[in-house]
Structure 1
């Protein structure tokens, strides 16, 4: 790990319900090393997840900042909820602070959809990003700046189902592709009315399963498209652990 006054090199971590991935990015979001991944540990509590991140980072010795995309509600790098991990163990966990102590470099943690959103948006107007995977992730940005995170996935879409339960992995497996697409069609109509966005981006592993007609202002993106978010997180004006902005940005 190098000094924080050096050119920005970000260890970018993506924590998912099934895998944890890692790479290193330069200040423009280009990958300096190939992605590596390990299975998400069980139970997925802070100690086990940190141990897994250490294993992923062990062969990497050249980074000076850390960005983490986390599947839950995060504020100021403090995890509030982790519905698809060991939720109780993560409540009010100072994840960014712990990673800074473990690695000796500034660490920032945001919701995983927020981090992907930073990587894919154009920076023009109101842009909504959704991720379709274990759950239903969302990020909202205005002119390229993250707005306060909303856990839409945990809110109701029907009388008995949250978005997570309605179109998450378990729903896809239980209902099948056709029914799932019908549900997604309903979800997209609701989001269009709710947010009146300029552009909607759809990512996550299940985005490739969509076979419904999409509006012209809806774009499909891949996880690789969102890689730049780990570097852009450290840009001026984004959500960071207080006092931890790198000197290499202006």
Structure 2
């Protein structure tokens, strides 16, 4: 983690299967402008996605750093998988280096659920974050620190090849809201049993389609909240509480 100057401005980008969203944050994770979005281009090749991202942020205020949440497995800023963008061209693509080159500032690229997790968690105990969108994203944090990323969405579930297939966007459209909600109840029971989390946060565009009552230690969070995690990527864990988003939220 890197130390943070007092007036740091961070361009925070959330890449999804349907939209690319972006805003400017300060070091506390506070929005400096309303976030804006554009449709994710099809086909979602690296070239097309970078072009769309540059167009989205073209008229944004100035920024010092860049944080990006990407829907797939990311290692050291390099994309390893992009299951919901429908292209093999992402494999081993250094998105972090390319964005630095194209946008002119240092960048960090992480899994999108990981970045959302940094933006919404309380920082106490084992917290699990899931995103319900084109696919099924997951992140785990212990006392506010990201744990190694697991592509849990690829785990087989029931007769389905994966959680993505079982509860992703395509399954919702095919099965309908009622059956999808029954599937979600089964998934949440499994998560509760397997992870024994202290708190579960639910984000993503389809989270508002949940119709059943959630446990007391479960909460739906907005994409606007999740994108704030981009600030935490540039904040030193040992920095003063005033510039630590997770600690600052408790005040």
Q: Distance in 2 between matches of 1:233 and 1:150?
A: 19
SS for the counterpart of 2:25 is strand
SS for the counterpart of 1:192 is helix
TM-score, normalised to structure 2, is: 0.90
- Residue 14 of structure 2 is matched in structure 1 by 14
Matches within 5 A, 1:201-220: 201-220=201-220
SS for the counterpart of 1:139 is strand
SS for the counterpart of 2:114 is helix
TM-score, normalised to structure 1, is: 0.90
Q: Distance in 2 between matches of 1:165 and 1:15?
A: 20
Q: Quote the offset at 1:213 in angstroms.
A: 2.4
- Residue 134 of structure 2 is matched in structure 1 by 134
Runs ≥4 residues deviating over 3 A: none
Q: Which runs of 5+ in 1 are unaligned?
A: 239-248
Q: Distance in 2 between matches of 1:57 and 1:188?
A: 36
- Residue 38 of structure 1 is matched in structure 2 by 38
Q: Distance in 1 between matches of 2:139 and 2:82?
A: 16
Q: Distance in 2 between matches of 1:117 and 1:128?
A: 8
SS for the counterpart of 2:37 is strand
Q: Distance in 2 between matches of 1:200 and 1:81?
A: 25
- Asked if 2 retains the 8 angstrom alpha-carbon contact of 1:69 and 1:110, the reply is yes
Q: Quote the offset at 1:61 in angstroms.
A: 4.1
Q: Quote the offset at 1:237 in angstroms.
A: 5.1
Q: Which has the higher contact order (CA 8 A, sep 6+)?
A: 2
Q: Which runs of 5+ in 2 are unaligned?
A: 245-251
CA deviations over 1:38-81 (Å, ceiling 9, x no partner):
11111111111111111112102410100001011111111100
Q: Distance in 2 between matches of 1:188 and 1:196?
A: 11
Q: Quote the offset at 1:162 in angstroms.
A: 0.7
Matched, 1:231 2:206: no
**How many aligned residue pairs are there?**
237
- Asked if 2 retains the 8 angstrom alpha-carbon contact of 1:44 and 1:86, the reply is yes
- Asked if 2 retains the 8 angstrom alpha-carbon contact of 1:81 and 1:87, the reply is no
- Residue 98 of structure 1 is matched in structure 2 by 98
Q: Distance in 1 between matches of 2:79 and 2:33?
A: 28
RMSD of aligned C-alpha atoms?
1.7
Q: Quote the offset at 1:6 in angstroms.
A: 6.8
